[in-house]
Amino acid sequence: MMLANKTFLITGIADEHSLAMYTAKEIVKNGGKVVCTGLGVSPYHQNLSDKAKAFLNKNFEDFKTSVKESLGDALVAILDVSIDENIESFAKELSDKNIKLDGFLHAIAMDKTIRKKEVKPLIDVTLNEFCDTMNVSAYSLIRITHHLLNHKVLQDGASICSLSYIAAAKVTFHPYRNISIAKAALERITVELADELGRKNGIRVNAIRFSPYMGSKAGNATLKEEDVNTSNKMSPLGNAVPQDLAFEINHLFRPESRITGEIRHVDGGYHITG
């Protein structure tokens, strides 16, 4: 098995329908181990309302249940990438447990300007809304990598993958304003880290643009059925399915590959259409 004796961090799992979950299951199928993170109440959350605490607690319980049912006894932890102290303590926890990572999947994004499938016009986006989206959806890739390296958890020769979208490069037929800028930043960070970490640590860094997908909570929050149908008609091979993405990420996770700095497409050819 190509990932035997390898361990990978999987972020961004909300439930069994998350794209990150498909990737995690494929890693286990290929002999690897996974560490999974989800949103919850950490010691670093302050001044949360009772409503916010209840939401985060339920989110983490649902996350743990999904991981247990799909992945068995995989290690789970709370990770809120908007809180740098939480990222640092998580990396230290892995180090204290002598867990070494051979790579990780960045599958985290957030945009509060999208509500009930309606997208706030970019011209009305506030500085806080813009920066919050950029922080969680793009800058977090830098901070996770920083702390994992700082605590000597991420190994030389590791592979990092992140999830992007065609809206990083093109205006899509469905509104995808504020977060599209963060995805563009995520892709540029991918390229810069590929150069920097490749030279210093032999670490590979790639991003993947996936088809519109409504099965996840994130996709369902932003897309409508007609959006998915439209992309399916536009794509020469039809929309890619989550298993296609899982195969590609596992391919990029395999050891001793020299693929890095790539913005790859797993979208049935959607990106070549007008």
43 Cβ contact partners less than 8 Å away, ≥ 6 residues apart: 89
Q: What pTM value is reported for the model?
A: 0.95
- What pLDDT does residue 273 have? 92
Give me the CATH code for the 7-272 domain, please. Answer: 3.40.50.720
Over residues 201-249, the pLDDT tens digits come to: 999 999 999 999 876 666 666 777 888 888 999 999 999 999 999 999 9
Percent pLDDT > 90 in the chain is: 86
Domain borders along the chain are 7-272
